[in-house]
A and B are shown apart, each in its own frame.
Chain A
């Protein structure tokens, strides 16, 4: 059945599967005074692209947050943050060269992560990451590149310093169609 649908159309499962845009894959409530949260079974062959959003929590420190697929890869993450301040200073660039994480993946006293992750489950594909980062006076965007030939199902978000409490990490998959 071709989109857009018309009144009286009988929709099949295939039609509905194609019509869903972002599909909620996982919703994880964050506990109290944690330094990191690992979300398992977030990525699969069902979707190639994902959106990860964390809101509603509180942090002890107004600092950036980091992202990684797992702790076993201590290298293989490349990123660049470009930011300005709310007073208009900048832009400024900060790079990360072959580290074990994507720094500046979010942040703040009321921490927010708003990230797109491409191809995390495909062992043969380079993983690409785009995310906003706001903390203190920093307002920026981070582009990440993870040329690790592994298939990942999990990810971890953690703060550079201090702890965070509460809120929800939601993972959405972009419908492959």
Chain B
């Protein structure tokens, strides 16, 4: 069974205030509500291997 992200893992990886959205040159940290929804959208996604290919 694939290893998937839990909410706690995602919160540890991407704490509130550390993720931004960009529109042209303006980079804006997500609001807490936006960040919470973004975290929720990733719960259950399979963890990538992140291995560099040979």
Residues of chain A whose beta carbon lies under 8 Å from any beta carbon of chain B: 28-40, 60-63, 86, 109, 135-137, 160-163
A-B contact sample (10 more), CB < 8 A, given A40-B24, A60-B13: A31-B22, A33-B19, A36-B21, A38-B21, A40-B23, A61-B50, A109-B50, A137-B53, A161-B42, A163-B14
Q: How far is the CA of A39 from the CA of B24 in the complex (A)?
A: 5
Say what secondary structure dominates the interface of chain A.
loop
Asked if B53 and A86 sit within 8 Å, CB to CB, the answer is: yes
Choose among B14, B20, B23, B48 the residue that contacts A136 (Cβ–Cβ < 8 A): B48
Say what secondary structure dominates the interface of chain B.
loop
Q: Which residues of A contact B22 (CB under 8 A)?
A: 30-31, 34, 36-38
Q: Which residues of A contact B52 (CB under 8 A)?
A: 109
Q: Closest Cβ of chain B: how far from A140's Cβ, in Å?
A: 15
Q: A41: nearest residue on chain B (CB-CB)?
A: B24
| Residues B1-54 near A (CB distance < 8 A) | 5, 13-14, 18-25, 27, 30, 38, 42, 45, 48-53
Q: Closest Cβ of chain B: how far from A71's Cβ, in Å?
A: 11
Q: Closest Cβ of chain A: how far from B5's Cβ, in Å?
A: 7
13 residue pairs A–B, Cβ–Cβ below 8 Å:
A31-B27, A33-B18, A34-B19, A35-B19, A35-B20, A37-B23, A38-B21, A38-B24, A62-B48, A109-B50, A161-B42, A161-B45, A163-B20
Q: Closest Cβ of chain B: how far from A133's Cβ, in Å?
A: 14
Q: Closest Cβ of chain B: how far from A19's Cβ, in Å?
A: 30
Q: A37: nearest residue on chain B (CB-CB)?
A: B22
Q: How far is the CA of A45 from the CA of B40 in the complex (A)?
A: 39
Q: Which residues of A contact B21 (CB under 8 A)?
A: 34-38
Q: How far is the CA of A60 from the CA of B47 in the complex (A)?
A: 11
> Contacts A161-B5, A163-B14, A163-B19: A34 and B49 contacting too (C-beta < 8 A)?
no
Q: How far is the CA of A109 from the CA of B51 in the complex (A)?
A: 9
> Contacts A62-B49, A161-B45: A28 and B24 contacting too (C-beta < 8 A)?
yes
